[in-house]
Amino acid sequence: MNWQIGDIVTRHSYEHDLLFRVQKISKEHAILFGEDFRLKVDAPLDDLKKVTESDHFLRRKEMKQNEDLSYRMFHQDYYLRSFRDYAQPTHEKEQNISQFRLCPKVLHIDGDSLFLKKCIQLYKRLGLQVHGMYVEESEMPEKIKELMEKVQPDILVITGHDSYSKQKGDEKDIRAYRNSKYFVEAVREARRFQPSLDQLVIFAGACQSHFESLIKAGANFASSPTRINIHALDPVYVVAKAGYTPFMEKVNIYDVVSKTITREKGIGGIETRGLFRVGLPYMKELPITNEKSKDE
């Protein structure tokens, strides 16, 4: 078989359960990135099967349905509430005063450029302002301070690819994970920059990541409590939930995980204050997300 970088494949040994794209090729092995999940694995070339265009289309159609369901759940249950209920004027004299809504600034650092692009598209679809940066996982700890100083984010996402290997140790040993140690180090560096869990909300991790270490390092939300694969877009829904929760309220953790695609087995977190604010009067020069609430 003539393998090429970018080929979409499945693995015989895992009964073709997930789609991967070939990232690197050596003599007998390939490094694979999950097509929809934040998973990075090594695989023998003879274990791979190239996916046909028709099969790829059907699998992507099914996954797209799951993605659209999560978007609809978020939009209906929370996005509308944040803009219509929380921002609605309560007194008659307020009815003629235009309001603005101030959403938090997001810095999304991703070890996969294609996933980063997909995430940025969803952020924009959800009305969030985001600065996206592609950084390889191993370089994240050393680059995090510079990026945070430049962007001054309210929410930080540290993600990419990860995986757990039984051959390297048990699940409690962070050395048995491909990139968890880099995510943990990056979170620690971010917390040196901003220690407050409410002034900087952090999501960290990828597929099968060492959840406990990420939370202990200072992440508000992380993957993966049961070491399962998480969907590429899951971090965006976590961020959106924190970003559209009013600052006087706590982010509902149960609500956060229910809007993600992989849910509570893939995402967990701690109590966190929301970051969404309303102000007045509306002025074009202000860095706002939308205009008047009464026109929604």
141 and 20 co-located in one domain: no
Q: Residues of 242-280 as b/e, b for ≥16 C-beta within 10 angstroms?
A: bbbbbeeeebebeebbbbbbbbebbbbbeebbbbbebee
CATH number at residue 190: 3.40.50.10090
Q: Beta partners for 108?
A: 132, 157
187 in any annotated domain: yes
**CA 59, CA 114: separation in Å to the nearest integer?**
18
**CA 140, CA 152: separation in Å to the nearest integer?**
16
What would the pLDDT profile of 100-110 be if each residue is shown by its tens digit? 778 899 999 99
179 and 140 co-located in one domain: yes
34 and 140 co-located in one domain: no
What would the pLDDT profile of 27-37 be if each residue is shown by its tens digit? 888 989 888 78
56 in any annotated domain: no
What would the pLDDT profile of 225-257 be if each residue is shown by its tens digit? 999 988 888 899 899 889 988 888 898 888 888
Place 270 in a pLDDT band, splitting at 50, 70 and 90. very high
CB atoms within 10 A of CB 224: 26
- Domain limits for position 39: 8-51
Stated pTM of the model: 0.81
Number of structural domains, the chain?
A: 2
- Work out the percent of the chain whose per-residue pLDDT is above 70: 84
What would the pLDDT profile of 79-121 be if each residue is shown by its tens digit? 555 554 555 555 555 556 677 778 899 999 999 998 999 899 9
71 and 39 co-located in one domain: no
Quote the mean pLDDT of the chain.
84
13 and 150 co-located in one domain: no
134 in any annotated domain: yes
- DSSP notation for 128-156: -EEEEEE--GGGHHHHHHHHHHHH--SEE
**CA 260, CA 242: separation in Å to the nearest integer?**
13
192 and 246 co-located in one domain: yes
215 in any annotated domain: yes
The reported pLDDT for the residue numbered 51 is 85
36 and 115 co-located in one domain: no
23 and 156 co-located in one domain: no
72 and 46 co-located in one domain: no
Q: Do the beta carbons of residue 221 and residue 247 sit within 8 Å? A: no
End-to-end Cα distance, the chain: 56
286 in any annotated domain: no
**H helices present in 201-283, as ranges:** 211-217, 234-243, 253-259, 263-266
42 and 78 co-located in one domain: no
